[in-house]
Amino acid sequence: MRCSLQLSAGLLLSAAISLGSVLNVPAEYPNIQVAIDSSSSGDTVLIQNGIYTLTLEAPDHDLTIAGSYIITNDSTEIDSCVIRPSDWFDRCLYAREVEVVSSLVLIGITVEGTFSQGSIRGGGLEIQDRDLSLLFCKFDSCYATTGGAVLSVNSTVRIENCLFQRVGSFSNGMACHLTDCTSFIDSTRFLNCFSTSTDADQNTLFIARGSLRLSNSLLSGTGWNTSPGAIGIRQTGIADSLVITGCTISSNRFHHFFRLPGEGNLQPSNIRFDSNTVTNNEFQHDLFESGGADTGSVARFRYNTFAENRRLSDDRWISRMLFTFFGNTQICEISHNLFYNNEAHENSVALLGETGPTNLSFKDNYIFGNAADGFANPPGGATMIIDVAPGAVERNMFINSDGYAVHHGIASSPPSYVLNCYWGDSTGPLHHIENPFGQGDSVHNLVSVTPWSADSLFTPSSAEGPRPTTFALGYPYPNPFNSTVTIEYALIREQDVTLEIYDVLGRQV
Q: What type of residue sits at position 202? A: Q
Identify any residues that bridge with 138 across adjacent strands, giving them in sequence order. Answer: 110, 163
Least confident of 47-51, 122-126, 281-285, 479-483: 479-483
| Element spanning 106, H or E | strand 103-107
Torsion of CA 416, 262, 341, 388, to 10 degrees: 10
pLDDT reported for residue 252: 85
Provide mean pLDDT across the span 206-215: 84
Residue range 156-171, pLDDT digits in tens: 999 999 999 988 887 7
pLDDT reported for residue 476: 46
More confident of the two residues 370 and 413: 370
Residue range 447-478, pLDDT digits in tens: 999 999 988 765 544 344 555 544 545 444 44
Q: Has residue 333 got a pLDDT over 60?
A: yes
More confident of the two residues 12 and 297: 297
More confident of the two residues 254 and 373: 254
More confident of the two residues 10 and 354: 354
Q: What type of residue sits at position 433? A: I
More confident of the two residues 120 and 76: 76
pLDDT reported for residue 214: 92
The DSSP call for residue 9 is H
CA distance linking residue 138 with residue 109, whole number of Å: 6
pLDDT reported for residue 55: 85
The percent helix, strand, coil of the chain (3-state, each to 5) is: 5, 40, 50
Query: In 20-113, where does DSSP find H-type helix?
Result: 32-37, 69-72, 76-80
Q: Which one of 102-111, 139-148, 193-202, 372-381 scores highest in mean pLDDT?
A: 102-111
pLDDT reported for residue 228: 57
Q: Has residue 418 got a pLDDT over 80?
A: yes
More confident of the two residues 176 and 508: 176
Q: Has residue 106 got a pLDDT over 50?
A: yes
Q: Has residue 80 got a pLDDT over 80?
A: yes
pLDDT reported for residue 286: 73
Cis amide bond preceding 468, omega within 30: no
**Using an 8 Å Cβ cutoff, are 402 and 381 in contact?**
yes
Indicate the average pLDDT of the chain: 77
CA distance linking residue 108 with residue 379, whole number of Å: 52
Q: What type of residue sits at position 389? A: A
Q: Has residue 11 got a pLDDT over 50?
A: no
Query: Would you say how long the chain is, in residues?
Result: 509
Show the CA angle centred on residue 151, arms to residues 149 and 153, nearest 5°.
Answer: 165
pLDDT reported for residue 508: 66
Backbone angles phi, psi at 473, to 5 degrees: -85, 120
Report the 10 Å Cβ neighbour count for 163.
Answer: 17
Instruction: Give percent of the chain with pLDDT exceeding 70.
Output: 67
**Using an 8 Å Cβ cutoff, are 288 and 320 in contact?**
no
Q: Has residue 37 got a pLDDT over 70?
A: yes
Using DSSP, state whether 69 is helix, strand or coil. Answer: helix
pTM: 0.82
Using DSSP, state whether 18 is helix, strand or coil. Answer: helix
Report the 10 Å Cβ neighbour count for 481.
Answer: 5
Provide mean pLDDT across the span 265-272: 69
Q: Has residue 8 got a pLDDT over 50?
A: no
Q: Which of 403, 410, 364, 361 is CA-nearest to residue 383? A: 403
Q: Has residue 57 got a pLDDT over 50?
A: yes
More confident of the two residues 482 and 344: 344
pLDDT reported for residue 463: 43
Q: Is residue 378 very low, low, confident or very high in pLDDT (cuts 50, 70, 90)?
A: low
Beta strands in 79-165 (DSSP E): 81-84, 93-95, 103-107, 110-112, 125-128, 131-135, 138-140, 143-144, 150-153, 156-160, 163-165
pLDDT reported for residue 10: 47
Q: Which of 181, 113, 124 is CA-nearest to residue 147? A: 124
